[in-house]
Amino acid sequence: MENLPNDWVALLTLVLILGLKHGLDADHLATIDGLTRYNAIHHPRLARWCGFLFSLGHGVVVIGISLTVGALSSRWQVPRWLGDVGAWVSIVFLLLLGMANLRAVLAAPGHLPVRPVGFKGRFLGRLNRTGDPLVIAAIGALFALSFDTVSQASLFALTATRFGGWGYALALGLSFMLGMMLADSANGLWISRLLRRADQLALVASRVMGLMVAGISLLVAAFGAAKYFFPAVDRWNDGKELALGMAVIAVLGGSFLLAFWLTRAPVAAASSSAGN
């Protein structure tokens, strides 16, 4: 993250991809899973909107951080230690989340779908069991008040000042928010569909996503550590942030589409048989 592109279009695209990747964070997936499951029983019409509402609240805080940092950028410079601390926060959390989700897939009973594992949601307790749209958005906002989100939003907001004032920081905040909302909204829709099914393919689909989230988390953590300890890896990565980010999103998106297709295929086959 410390070597962001100098071209505005490339930077805007990269921040959108970072938002997509952030929306597929295991903590986001786990919390949206819990909110969707609760509302699928108590407020079925709201269930499919849980991912959208969560990311909306999260994104509002990110935009607020971007605007604040953009406005103060002329009087404040990002400290050197912020990049190092932010990198290690990401590495450690991705490593722990990857291992936790891998364990969840391996330990899940065969007759039950795999639920994503997150850490932040555990501290929210009963807030995860709510049918109030404003509270769901507020939960998303609380998730944004963490070091990794604040440092990431601050870094690309400061980078935006190379192109102009706070308007550029706002544009990057909106781009990040859009990417995150696309990922979280799709996740909420997928979970609500998964909950309406109880067949073998639904169980397989949940395991596909669980393994992919665990695998990507562990790989990104390992790559982050390699960049930190081996300058050659960091030099190789310079200028490739956009391509690597797109590759991560492509893998995660492909696994999501595969899981979605697995839950949809029997319905399509049944409809085709009925038509014949």
| Cβ-contact 10, 247 below 8 angstroms | no
Q: For position 178, what pLDDT does the model report?
A: 92
Q: What is the CA radius of gyration of the chain?
A: 19
Q: What is the DSSP string of 183-200?
A: HHHHHHHHHHHHHT--SH
Cβ-based neighbour number of residue 150 at 10 Å? 17
Q: For position 217, what pLDDT does the model report?
A: 77
Percent of the chain residues past pLDDT 70, beyond the cut: 76
Nearest one of 156, 43, 29, 50 to 100, comparing CA atoms: 29
User: pLDDT digits over 214-262, tens only?
Assistant: 887 788 788 888 888 888 887 887 767 667 777 777 777 777 777 767 6
Sign for the CA dihedral angle at 18, 20, 22, 25 comes to negative
Looking at the predicted structure, is the pLDDT value of residue 194 above 60? yes
Q: For position 275, what pLDDT does the model report?
A: 55
Q: How far apart are CA 248 and CA 18, in angstroms?
A: 10
Crossing angle (nearest 10°) for helices 147-160 and 133-144: 80
Element (H, E) at 68: helix 50-72
- Domain positions in the chain are 8-266
Q: For position 5, what pLDDT does the model report?
A: 63
Q: How far apart are CA 97 and CA 74, in angstroms?
A: 37
* Lowest-confidence region among 41-55, 117-131, 152-166: 117-131
Cβ-based neighbour number of residue 81 at 10 Å? 8
Looking at the predicted structure, is the pLDDT value of residue 270 above 70? no
Looking at the predicted structure, is the pLDDT value of residue 142 above 70? yes
Percent of the chain residues past pLDDT 90, beyond the cut: 7
Q: How far apart are CA 134 and CA 35, in angstroms?
A: 13
Looking at the predicted structure, is the pLDDT value of residue 276 above 60? no
Average pLDDT across the chain, whole number: 76
The pTM of this model reads 0.71
**Which of the pair, 246 or 57, is modelled with greater confidence?**
57
